[in-house]
Chains A and B, each alone.
Chain A
């Protein structure tokens, strides 16, 4: 029995755009987003994390104002 490979229809304009769009998204994801990582440890509580962020913002703001003086 002879197996015949399925016929692949020619790529239409919409398919080409969709393929390029998928390639672009993959490129952006690889460049800007975090790589899949090994587990980094237990997560930190949200309130502790936001307290740290608040301190960081406060210090940066005060420093910025002092430098502009």
Chain B
């Protein structure tokens, strides 16, 4: 598709001007013996003019010019007859030379134009390959191809006032097959087309051959179908409506097919990437599942052992135990069972959150309610501990999954209670800071050693007693290892990640730690008037 210049009449006008100037030169040189010079001037003028005139125009002007030369300058003047035989030869030679120059010039121009065209197409294909890299989904690729093809046609028909470059003429179809890039739908069409055209797209894709005018198959069709080929199969097909009216030449068809093939290659890459990602996800899930199963086997056994021990003691030795002893055993069973329930919940949620494709059940929640209910539950479990709660009034609403956030806060609070002394207070708060809402749990425990600050968030990691700093208020060692499998903080981090918010831990000024969940403030929903 040659590019038309903006002003197609400019070149011939220059050519004619050259002729006129040349003629002026001939007249100026006119004298008795100047015929040879004039002949050369004529040739020079013709050579210059053919640069600007199309071949047929050069041919005709050459004949006219030679005839006029004959009439005006070759003796006898003002007649077409020729005196000497060498003058006839001269005229003939002039004509032949001018025609030769015109022909050579024309050939040169055509070669240059086709080389330019080739370079342009190659650069176009390179650009197109770059554009394809940017597209993420197969649907985007299809849309981009349709637009690109429309762009090609628009350039071709710039002289035309009709809107041939309308991209609704191009429809790219991706039909789900054994090697499909589409996630859910059976087929995707970038534009509208009739059922017949859809059938054509399907045929084109399955057969991996182009159909329509100029392709050698179904020539009588008005529409052109091109497959998006790569690696021996078609990943989609493109429909160009009413292509027959375009009279596309072989080179153009080849170029369009090249565009389509690059698109096919991009689609194939998408499939490969998706498959690789799926394999990676599967491997991760397997790894996680193995970790959790091992942990469950180990960490659920311990409380179960205690429960079994206490229960069997009640069964076998019941009559020999005092009321107080029986009550203590029963209490122990209750406590261990509660701990086991919490461990089970954490394990399950952690597994769910780490698996890909989790849907959070989010809604507008009140930060005050979340911290309040968590504290209330904790007070029931630990009636002797000091647990404070503070919620700033008029906090913006949080958009989150209440159950998960509750569980995370509960874990943080449970941790704080476990790792701080029985006489120290623990506080749960909800505050607004700049454009963020911060839910925090703070304690006056020994704090987290610097080396462990990131590791504590990994599953099944717990700071061993030797690594924990000695509590200044207590004498002797830091005490026995508190119960728990070390899942609580891992779950908190998983909840934070799932919501896209930050969970951080930092030491407090006068000892202890503070764990903070920080939420950006969302645009608040409308309230009733």
Partners in one complex: no
B interface list, Cβ under 8 A from A = none
A interface list, Cβ under 8 A from B = none
